[in-house]
Amino acid sequence: MHPMLSKSFIFIFVSSCVVLAHSALADDKKVDPKLFPPPATKEGVTYATDIQPIFEKSCYPCHSAKTEKPKGKLRLDTLELTLKGGEDGPALVKGDSAKSVMVAQICYQGDADDYMPPPKNKGNIKQLTKEQIGLIRAWIDQGAK
């Protein structure tokens, strides 16, 4: 085989392996809503009554007026700011928790860098419980009011 052909073959082979490895890693970051805890069965879930207390305990340290620069420019300390979203756009899709970025992040799915709260955080804030996630899902599915 001609030396240039063998170098080309090796380059193409190595490039293909890199692309396949990258694709496999990307597959690991996919979000599967079937793995989310189910929405709570509670009707009439509201931000003020049900969701704000969860956010206050687990999210305000990084996503409220309590911090000088809210992470991702996302504030969760009022309903209006929560619905507005942050620098990456809205964190939720009213009426569809399965398509809401916020839900994937609190379920620790997708990109590990986006898990909320981060697994290792200064405040030692724990991951939300299945019940808390279910309540957030119900709130979003019911129109995020």
Residues 21 and 39 reside in one and the same domain: no
Same domain, 51 and 25: no
Render 19-53 in DSSP notation, one character per residue: HHHHHHHHHHT---GGGSPPPP--SS--IIIIIHH
Residues 102 and 46 in one domain: yes
Number of domains in the chain: 2
Q: Are residues 46 and 24 in the same domain?
A: no
Q: Has residue 143 got a pLDDT over 70?
A: yes
Q: Quick one: 8 and 40 in the same domain? A: no
- Residue 93: what pLDDT? 98
Instruction: Print the domain residue range for 25.
Output: 1-30
Residues 116 and 31: their CA atoms lie apart, in Å, by: 14
Query: Quick one: pLDDT at residue 115?
Result: 96
Query: H helices of 63-100, where?
Result: 79-84
* 19 and 43, same domain (yes or no): no
Say if residue 17's pLDDT is above 70: no
Query: Are both 58 and 23 inside the same structural domain?
Result: no
Using alpha carbons, select from 140, 70, 65 the residue that is nearest to residue 106: 140
CA 130, CA 145: separation in Å to the nearest integer? Answer: 21
Give yes or no: residues 64 and 13 share one domain.
no
* pLDDT above 80: residue 27: no
Q: What is the pLDDT of residue 6?
A: 56
Same domain membership, residue 64 and residue 127? yes
Same domain as 42, residue 106: yes
